[in-house]
Structure 1
């Protein structure tokens, strides 16, 4: 059974259980098929998570909501249901370093992949560099189309450094390609007012903010670094 690896692997144990519990043939067959389907779903989820390119593993169950009162757990768990992905809405996570933005970005992206959607996670600078190289190699249309095919594009560390006009315009093209069709989630350490440091052209900056906020979800993670306070607590208890 080359295409039914779970049935092949679990048949002896399930057959023994079925005999012990005097299961009907139909019940035994149902158990076998359910095991195969469950395992296939797990493997598909694993492939989608791997394809997303998350820099590290982060799960919602590991997020310490008690450590950051700025973040409403109900809002995050509503986002984890992926309704915003189905509607193609954007998500902005705004706050200082260490407040949980990247954790939430990766965790929500992971939930999206598990739910069956295609996800790509990338650092803002890496995305812009890739777009510039693609433009130089006359591959820009193909690259933008590739980023346009995923259901969720998660961009981390937007706002950490200034982008030149060309880089900003290329990023704007990606966002425009996805507008009201597929979701974009970003994490930024700058409030929208401070984005003029990253996107130095005011009109382009305003257009990008509009693309990322229209009809979307904005979550402010605050200014108190969870990582810093956690480190201090660890030192204090050591």
Structure 2
């Protein structure tokens, strides 16, 4: 004759009635979580344990709830760290983009660019349009989405990057600086083409493009069409080489000519 198995109620022990013993257990859990670097379990185990007792779940379910909470919180902290390390000048998200004000950009297009597949393939992105048409918003929003997907992103303006490279060259650490920019998954270059670059500056920038060619994705935002880039890169051969690298297999988004900022200012004045 088989021995009857214990019921679920009999397998789950009741809460400890000895306050001293319970306190000792809490201390052990707290110290173990500190040692194992499990801050979420440390802060939430009491609430999760109380919920488990109320719902009379199994030991495995209780353990799974603890671990899921730790993993979810750790992933959220990682996303926040990657966004912070991207060095965006201000928070911008794709879901806040006003599609009604800029019909040149569609939700479907941004859905594609929020997916990290193009970044992993090392494909370029060009955002071309006049000032005030949402290029920087899109650049930061796309970069934020890619960082939250778990990839390394770095934002900078083109002038700041060229200045940083020039300083690195003067201090004999150019190779290290270029290698550092080569390690990020997506380099976001804002204000591309706003200022003229001398031949030395253009050569330094070209080295970044060469380092990342077909391996690391670059996203640029420019208020000048490709035909006018020769005014920024005064060396014709360098200009051709840079345009070639930025546009090869590229996603090209034209944000138009109607300034969103100007339209908003006009609306406020009419009120």
Q: Shorter-chain TM-score category? A: over 0.9
Rounded to whole Å, the distance in 2 between the matches of 1:45 and 1:52 is 11
1:212 equivalent in alignment to 2:242: no
1:199-225 deviation digits (Å, cap 9, x = unpaired): 111111111011101011000000001
What's the Cα RMSD here?
A: 0.9
Which of 130, 141, 160 is 2:164 aligned to?
130
Rounded to whole Å, the distance in 2 between the matches of 1:214 and 1:59 is 27
Q: Cα offset for 1:236?
A: 2.2
SS at match of 2:172: coil
Which stretches in structure 2 are left out of the alignment for 5+ residues?
A: 1-32
1:66 equivalent in alignment to 2:100: yes
1:144 equivalent in alignment to 2:184: no
- 213-222 or 22-31: bigger deviation: 22-31
Counterpart position of 1:221: 255
Q: Cα offset for 1:72?
A: 2.0
Please list every run of at least 4 consecutive aligned residues from structure 1 whose deviation after the TM superposition is greater than 3 angstroms: none
Flag the 1:24–1:234 CA change in 2: closer, same or farther, 3 A.
Answer: farther
1:65-91 deviation digits (Å, cap 9, x = unpaired): 111011122111111011101101000
SS at match of 1:158: coil
Q: Cα offset for 1:162?
A: 0.4
1:132-167 deviation digits (Å, cap 9, x = unpaired): 111111111111001001000100001111000000
Q: Cα offset for 1:230?
A: 1.6
Counterpart position of 1:95: 129
Which of 27, 52, 72 is 1:38 aligned to?
72
Q: TM-score, normalised by structure 2?
A: 0.86
1:232 equivalent in alignment to 2:255: no
Q: TM-score, normalised by structure 1?
A: 0.97
Question: May I ask how many residue pairs the two structures share in their alignment?
Answer: 237
Aligned counterparts, 1:18-57, within 5 A: 18-57=52-91
Which of 175, 178, 191 is 2:209 aligned to?
175
Rounded to whole Å, the distance in 2 between the matches of 1:10 and 1:64 is 39
Counterpart position of 1:187: 221
Point out the structure with max Rg over C-alpha: 2
Q: Cα offset for 1:231?
A: 2.0
Rounded to whole Å, the distance in 1 between the matches of 2:270 and 2:47 is 51
Counterpart position of 1:8: 42
Rounded to whole Å, the distance in 1 between the matches of 2:89 and 2:238 is 29
Rounded to whole Å, the distance in 2 between the matches of 1:221 and 1:102 is 11
Rounded to whole Å, the distance in 2 between the matches of 1:119 and 1:80 is 13
